[in-house]
Amino acid sequence: MPSRRMRRAVCKLIRVQTSTVCCARPNARTYSLTLQCYGRWVSHSLPLHNGNLLINNALHEKWGHSVLRSRAEMTSCAAQIEQLENRMERGLRMKDEEKLYKRNGILYSTIMSPPENLDAAKHMEAREEDVMMIAYPKCGFNWIVAVMRKIMSVSAGLTVPNRPPLIEFWSPDVHQTVAQSPSRRLIGSHLHYDNIPASFKTKKTKMLVVFRNPKDTAVSYYHFMNKNPVLPKAESWDTFFSDYINGEVPWGSYFDHALAWEKHIDEPNVKVVTYEELKENLPEGIRKVADFFSFPLTDEQVKAIAEETTFSAMVETSKKSYGTYSQVFFRKGEVGDWRNHFSEAQSKQMDEEFQKKLAGTKLGAKLKYDQYCM
């Protein structure tokens, strides 16, 4: 094992904290040094000559300007967890009837998306090069954001702030901070197409839209509301199903969102992917998303990102991002769990709603309803 002095010298040269070094194992010619890089451990063999450690230019170039976890990032992550826990604790103190309010006929979270947040979001100035991700709640938004963070880091060396990217969660102060942030910015939203800031449409900002089959979305949303203190608890599955099918849930109707995006599905700055296709072939999905946003990746990089963003990997990562509330955001990650909740009558009612709203549409075909919901 190398001395502490040696480890400190290495860390100083490659500009990382001593605390990020896990271990170094000596052999005849090299030290294998392992460091933490955005939540995963990476290794590099350092050459030895007569027992002396040689730091070559390649190592300095590889790590000296890399995205290794810094003290500032760790502080930011801790601040995010603290802010999230404060909001959750505020929700625990509130009555359920106080947790939602209506704006233009749509329900929003009083704690996460108060009116001043929506007002600030409405006037947000987009950039053509922004990375915009949109999803109806519980369609895989947190998953695709994690994938996109990896893509941006690996492909372009971009450090994405730890804050949640949902613009309706940002206070006016945060919006001002984001307005001064360098490109490329990672931005997201659960908002209906009509409520996305107009500047994103006039600037033709590329928008990745994620959908999931409506039955699994409903089940995931039901459990999310019962686990998340900032939202009112669903009285029962039957009550929630009725609210869901009628659009009386936060962010409104699933089918209203879907129909709005159907009108724009062929626009060159819009790409729709589904939760199910990502589950079927995550590496292919990563490649499509990266290509859409013009982030080049090698086959090896695609494979590495896919391995780091499986559901089990995301569960572990969420513990660092969300603290004790990580279980709120990731549950099963399965396709077909709706069969454990829907009655025959409810399944038939959803089938009829889908036929009435999305049958014959391009988005409806992409959702493969007959495969996943029958």
- Active site residue ranges: 190
Pair 65, 43: CB distance under 8 Å: no
Question: 349 - beta bridge partners?
Answer: none
Helix (H, G, I), strand (E, B) or coil at 128: coil
Residue 232 DSSP code: P
Pair 120, 261: CB distance under 8 Å: no
Q: Which residues contact 266 (CB under 8 A, 6 or more apart)?
A: 362
H runs (alpha helix) in the chain: 4-13, 57-64, 71-93, 115-122, 141-156, 172-179, 198-202, 214-227, 237-245, 254-262, 275-280, 282-292, 299-308, 311-322, 326-329, 344-357, 362-366, 369-372
Helix (H, G, I), strand (E, B) or coil at 21: strand
Size of the chain in residues: 374
Instruction: Give the CA dihedral 278, 222, 142, 354, nearest 10 degrees.
Output: 40
Strands 106-109 and 131-135: unpaired
